[in-house]
Amino acid sequence: MDDTDTVPHFDLDLTQPDPIPASGIARAVELMESGRLFRYGETAPGTLGDAAQLEQRFAQMLGRKYAIAVNSCGAALFLALRSSGVRAGDQVLVNGYTLAPVPGAIDHAGATPVLVEVTENCTIDTTDLERRASESGAKALLLSHMRGHVSNMDEVVRVCNRYGITLIEDCAHTLGASWDGRASGTFGTAACFSLQTFKHINAGEGGIIVTDDDELAVRAILNSGSYMLYGQHAARPSEEAFEPLRGKVPNYSLRLSATAAAVALPQLDLLEERGKRMNASYQLLETLLKDVEGLRIMQRDPREGYIGSSFQFCLPEMEAADIGNFLATCLEHGLGIKWFGQERMEGFTSRPSQWEYVDERMLLSQTEALLSTLCDMRIPPAMTEHHCHQAAHIITHAIQSVRSATG
């Protein structure tokens, strides 16, 4: 790429999601006109409400028996931990490259996060996972497929099985992704997905738990706040399965609203096409940037069927001040890139050393070294080949500018 050309101004807002399908808008308006926005009671007896329909279709899509829709993916993670038996004082393993709500869900459940190193390619370090599983006596692994990077699930499952650890997958960034042909979200006892605006399905906010475990599903439905209206769920265990736990499971009021479900439902039909668009952009960016000196792109395992909703790269030769200058140069040209190595938590980005509620003795040198130079760019479905070329030009120019200034 010839940097003597005029550097373009990036003309796409990377935070811009796709519009809500017309049918979702129409159904949401219909619900608002009716006033029946609560997921229990917006339909006549014998018919399925929007949230129940969303759960049913989600479970069918993933080939899992049960699905429970709640008000955020963070709530889903908390409920999956609680409903799988995690209690106050338990140890829960979690990879150090993730978003703050993930260790936050562990803390919410009263448990202690046990941080696990990640590799230079952003996946969990399975050697360190085995060591920490052996030493900690952890009851569960909350595995975050952070920014769509699917770990070696063969090894993850092997370690969990060896040490009797319950695997819960955080699939906020991997709806539609896979490992060796098997869908992300089907490896663990439970898996959690996000319906937040910047995810693959945009309901503004929301989360879904999927599982094949009868008791976990019963507990999650009761914990989520179904009262005794669990019969209005479709993707659930039998009515008899609820009887032993009636009155014994607290109601945490974490339900998904009917309106959010109505907005989400028609987007299930768009997932495949959205994934193709994002992957095309990811692969083009990878091609355009792979030979840029001073930039390192994550290497993907050929068994990983990823969904490229964001693009990560490292600037391993740059000091913190240089990366700050790189980001500033990109922003001058309209391209907003996030950096996990900032001194303070900013926006959605943070790293283990900034989670002050986690024991400092558990901080991760390998992970911190990775995150110190890790940059992150969102790939919205609206991104085109034109935008990819613009972004690659700006990134290349910014790197060259910093390298020239530092000699």
In degrees, rounded to 5, the angle at the alpha carbon of residue 372 between the alpha carbons of residues 371 and 376 is 55
Task: Please classify residue 386 by burial: count the beta carbons closer than 10 Å to its beta carbon, then call 0-12 exposed, 13-18 middle and 19+ buried.
Answer: exposed
- What confidence tens digit (pLDDT) does each residue in 324-349 have? 999 999 999 999 999 999 888 888 88
Q: Biggest alpha carbon distance in the chain?
A: 73
Cβ atoms of 137 and 90 closer than 8 Å: no
DSSP label of 39: S
3-state SS assignment for residue 182: strand
Which tokens go with 253?
A: 């009021």
Percent of the chain with pLDDT over 90: 91
Give pLDDT, residue 4: 46
Report d(CA 200, CA 205) in Å as an integer. Answer: 12
- What confidence tens digit (pLDDT) does each residue in 39-84 have? 997 666 778 999 999 999 999 999 999 999 999 999 999 999 999 9
Report d(CA 54, CA 267) in Å as an integer. Answer: 10
Report d(CA 52, CA 47) in Å as an integer. Answer: 10
β-sheet with 374-378: strand ranges across: 296-297, 310-314, 374-378, 338-339
Residue ranges in the chain whose pLDDT is less than 50: 1-4
Q: Which helix (H) or strand (E) holds 275?
A: helix 271-289
Report d(CA 169, CA 374) in Å as an integer. Answer: 23
Cβ atoms of 76 and 102 closer than 8 Å: no
β-strands 178-179, 304-305 pairing: antiparallel
**Which domains does the chain show, CATH number per domain?**
22-269 (3.40.640.10), 271-405 (3.90.1150.10)
Give pLDDT, residue 361: 54
